[in-house]
Every structure is written in structure tokens, then in C-alpha cells.
């Protein structure tokens, strides 16, 4: 399978600060790829580099087989982009706006008629005749995705397309992205884990400008399966949970109502050696200590932290 995006050793530095630090990334053609990271991880910076709005400090970035620093209009015409805060002309209708964007791409009249019709349908805006100024956030975001598709791009880049939306709005935008599977490569940044789990086949996790993990979601969850411990004790689960949370290898600790403790760990070896000692120090009985099943959230928390301690 060929790569729609291939990034090797990408670093982007602002003053002394590495917004991106030696990033390697491969996005296969036809995939829906989620680029996941907490605030400030470098997601927008990467999308700015991919779209040519920022230049790499060092490294090689290829889009559709071409180096981004040498991308010309013929390559740009094969890429669609939705920025984190898209701009619209509030006095236009959705149809007028799509026609306006289409004319910027010099799309011929007949093709444009067909595309506008199809994209209004995809965005659920066919029967909406009001101007964009009166649109809800969700409607605007669906229109934003539609405008990014007006040139029938091979590669669609989106910066946090769902972050400002309510659950219904998120679902509608994610459904739009899902409908592109296999036809268009979709690469989007987000900090919402559930969105990635719902639509993506592949994910990269970014933290402080570095890619800390990437791969198919099921591969990641099994690769990091050794990162979760389920612990059951006879009593004092709350205090034991607090003791464990103070350990440097404990990424997150959750004590359930039945006293079962779920721990996401960054170092399983250290956890295995220390947990029995902490249990003994509390003079409590150990009923169960076993590896737990990992979801994407557990992988994310064990790699990035996440403030859940
Ligand atoms: N133009 C700039 N000048 C200086 N520093 C910048 C600039 N753009 C980004 N940064 C810094 O680079 C880091 C990464 O920022 P970026 O906006 O790419 O993160 P992000 O993952 O998109 O975050 P968020 O989810 O909050 O949008 C941050 O520490 C940010 O302050």
C-alpha cells in the first residue's frame, strides 16, 4: 500500500521550543487516520507544515509522493483542508459558498453542479435555504467538511473537526468522514479519544511534539496490553489507591465502588515489584492481581499521562 503522507525526522522549532520533535509518520492511502494529542502537543503545527503554511525546521515531509516544500498547484488541487477555525461568508447560502469555493479551483460548470448537489446531500444541507450567518456550529462544520471536498481531493486534512461540537454534531461530522472510507485518505487531529475509536483505523499519539505511538488501533491496544493492572484487596482499597497513585510508574489509578483498583502503569516491572509491598504495608489481604484489558484510552493515559491521577 502506498503512503498518502510520509514524514521522516520532522522538527519544527519556534525560538528555542520544539513544537515538533523528530516526528516519523506514515499514513497509508485510503485510511482514516486519527492524530491524537493533548493541548499543545503540536497537532496544529503538524497540519500547518502539511498544508505548507509553516516550513519544517528540518526533516522530510512528503504528501502524495511529493516533498511539501516543492508542492505546486497541481498537488494542492488534490488536497482538501479544514482548519480548526474555518472562515465563511455569512451572507451566502451553503450552495453559494460551495460554488464560490469550487470556482476558486476552476472546476467546470457541469462538474461543479454535480459536486455541489452531492456535497449538500452529504452534509445534510440540501433543504437549508437560510444564509450561513444563521447556521448552528454543527451545520457550519458540516459545510466546512463539504467545502474541503469540493475539489474531490485524494487526501483530506482536518484540524480538530469535532472539538467545538455537541455529541450530535460530532456524530454527524464523523459520519461524513466515515462515508469517505476507501475513497479519500482522511487525516484529522483531535484530543477526543472516543472520536478516534469510532472512525479511525489507524492512530498516532503525539505528546510534547513527539510521536509516542502509532499503528492500527487494535495493534496498539494489544501492544500495550501489559500496561494495566487490576487489583482487588479485602479492605482499605481507597488508601491503597492513594499509595499507588504516588508511585512514579502509576499513570492513573481508579478505585471502583466495589473496591477493585484499576491501575494504568508506565513500567509493569516496577509495578509488579512494588504493588505487593504496598499491599503488605497496608496490612490488607490480596484477593486478585492481574493484567487488565486495554482500550485506546488506557494506552493514551499510560503514554501521555492525562491528569487522571
Ligand atoms: N507561531 C508560534 N510561535 C511560537 N510557539 C508556537 C507557535 N505555534 C505553536 N507554538 C507552540 O508549539 C506548541 C504546539 O502548539 P500546537 O498549536 O501545534 O499544539 P496543538 O496540539 O494543536 O494544541 P491545541 O490542541 O491546544 O490546539 C505549543 O507549545 C505552542 O505554544
Ligand 1 center from residue 131 Cα (angstroms): 33
Q: Of the given ranges (149-163, 171-185, 290-304), which has the lowest mean pLDDT?
A: 290-304
Whether the pLDDT of residue 307 is over 50: the answer is no
Ligand 1 in reach of 208 Cβ (< 6 A): no
Whether the pLDDT of residue 207 is over 50: the answer is yes
ipTM above 0.90, yes or no: yes
CB atoms closer than 10 angstroms to residue 184:
20
The dihedral through the CA atoms of 296, 298, 303, 309 has a sign that is positive
Task: Give me the sheet containing 286-291, strands edge to edge.
Answer: 250-255, 260-265, 228-233, 286-291
Helix (H, G, I), strand (E, B) or coil at 160: coil
* Cα–Cα distance measured from residue 150 to residue 78, given in angstroms and rounded to the nearest whole number: 10
Phi, psi of 35 (to 5 degrees): -110, 100
Beta strands in the chain (DSSP E): 3-14, 17-28, 32-36, 58-63, 66-67, 79-82, 155-159, 185-190, 202-207, 210-216, 228-233, 250-255, 260-265, 286-291
* Cα–Cα distance measured from residue 201 to residue 31, given in angstroms and rounded to the nearest whole number: 7
Q: How confident is the model at residue 274 (pLDDT cuts 50, 70, 90)?
A: very high
Among candidate residues 173, 82, 178, 102, the one with its CA nearest the CA of residue 136 = 173
Average pLDDT over residues 52-79: 86
Looking at per-residue pLDDT, the higher value among 121 and 308 belongs to: 121
Q: Best substitution site from 10, 14, 47 to test ligand 1's pocket, by max atoms within 8 Å of Cβ?
A: 14
Ligand 1 center from residue 20 Cα (angstroms): 9
Ligand 1 in reach of 19 Cβ (< 6 A): yes
Q: How confident is the model at residue 7 (pLDDT cuts 50, 70, 90)?
A: very high
Show the domains of the chain with their CATH numbers.
Answer: 1-215 (3.40.50.300), 225-292 (3.30.70.100)
Question: For the whole model, what pTM was predicted?
Answer: 0.81
Predicted confidence (pLDDT) per residue in 98-114, tens digit: 999 999 988 999 999 99
pLDDT at position 309 is 39
174 contacts 195 by C-beta, under 8 angstroms = yes
Predicted confidence (pLDDT) per residue in 73-106, tens digit: 778 888 999 998 888 999 999 999 999 999 998 8
Name the residue with cell 500547518: 48
Q: How confident is the model at residue 225 (pLDDT cuts 50, 70, 90)?
A: low
Q: How confident is the model at residue 1 (pLDDT cuts 50, 70, 90)?
A: low
Locate the ligand 1 atom nearest the alpha carbon of residue 41 and give its number. Answer: 21
Helix (H, G, I), strand (E, B) or coil at 64: coil
pLDDT at position 101 is 95
Ligand 1 in reach of 200 Cβ (< 6 A): no
* Cα–Cα distance measured from residue 66 to residue 69, given in angstroms and rounded to the nearest whole number: 9
Ligand 1 in reach of 142 Cβ (< 6 A): no
Burial of 27 (0-12, 13-18, 19+ CB in 10 A): buried
Locate the ligand 1 atom nearest the alpha carbon of residue 47 and give its number. Answer: 18
Whether the pLDDT of residue 247 is over 90: the answer is yes
Locate the ligand 1 atom nearest the alpha carbon of residue 159 and give its number. Answer: 22
Predicted confidence (pLDDT) per residue in 122-135, tens digit: 999 999 999 999 99
* Cα–Cα distance measured from residue 251 to residue 253, given in angstroms and rounded to the nearest whole number: 7
Ligand 1 center from residue 14 Cα (angstroms): 9
Amino acid at each position: 500500500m502506498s503512503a498518502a503522507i510520509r514524514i521522516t525526522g520532522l522538527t519544527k522549532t519556534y525560538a528555542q521550543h520544539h513544537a515538533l520533535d523528530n516526528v516519523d509518520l506514515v499514513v497509508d492511502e485510503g485510511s482514516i487516520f486519527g492524530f491524537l494529542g493533548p493541548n499543545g502537543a503540536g497537532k496544529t503545527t503538524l497540519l500547518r507544515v502539511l498544508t505548507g503554511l509553516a516550513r519544517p525546521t528540518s526533516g522530510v515531509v512528503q504528501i502524495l509522493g511529493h516533498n511539501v516544500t516543492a508542492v505546486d498547484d497541481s498537488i494542492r488541487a488534490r488536497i482538501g483542508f479544514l482548519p480548526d477555525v474555518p472562515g465563511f461568508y455569512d451572507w451566502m447560502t451553503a450552495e453559494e459558498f460551495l460554488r464560490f469555493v469550487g470556482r476558486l479551483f476552476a472546476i467546470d460548470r457541469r462538474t461543479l453542479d454535480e459536486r455541489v448537489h452531492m456535497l449538500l446531500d452529504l452534509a445534510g444541507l440540501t433543504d437549508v435555504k437560510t444564509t450561513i450567518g444563521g447556521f448552528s456550529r454543527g451545520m457550519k462544520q458540516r459545510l466546512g467538511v463539504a467545502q474541503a471536498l469540493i475539489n474531490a481531493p485524494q487526501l483530506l486534512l482536518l484540524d480538530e473537526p469535532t472539538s467545538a461540537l455537541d455529541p450530535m454534531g460530532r456524530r454527524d461530522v464523523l459520519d461524513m468522514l466515515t462515508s469517505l472510507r476507501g475513497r479519500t485518505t482522511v487525516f484529522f487531529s483531535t484530543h477526543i479519544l472516543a472520536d478516534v475509536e469510532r472512525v479511525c483505523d489507524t492512530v498516532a499519539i503525539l505528546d510534547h511534539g513527539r510521536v509516542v505511538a502509532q499503528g492500527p488501533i487494535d495493534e496498539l491496544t494489544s501492544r500495550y496490553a501489559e500496561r494495566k493492572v487490576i487489583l482487588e484487596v479485602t479492605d482499605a482499597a481507597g488508601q491503597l489507591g492513594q499509595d499507588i497513585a504516588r508511585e512514579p510508574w502509576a499513570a492513573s489509578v481508579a478505585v471502583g465502588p466495589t473496591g477493585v483498583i484499576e491501575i494504568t502503569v508506565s513500567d509493569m516491572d516496577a509495578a509488579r515489584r512494588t504493588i505487593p509491598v504496598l499491599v503488605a504495608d497496608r496490612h490488607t489481604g490480596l484477593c486478585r492481581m492481574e493484567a487488565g484489558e486495554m482500550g485506546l484510552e488506557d494506552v493514551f493515559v499510560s503514554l501521555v499521562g492525562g491528569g487522571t491521577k
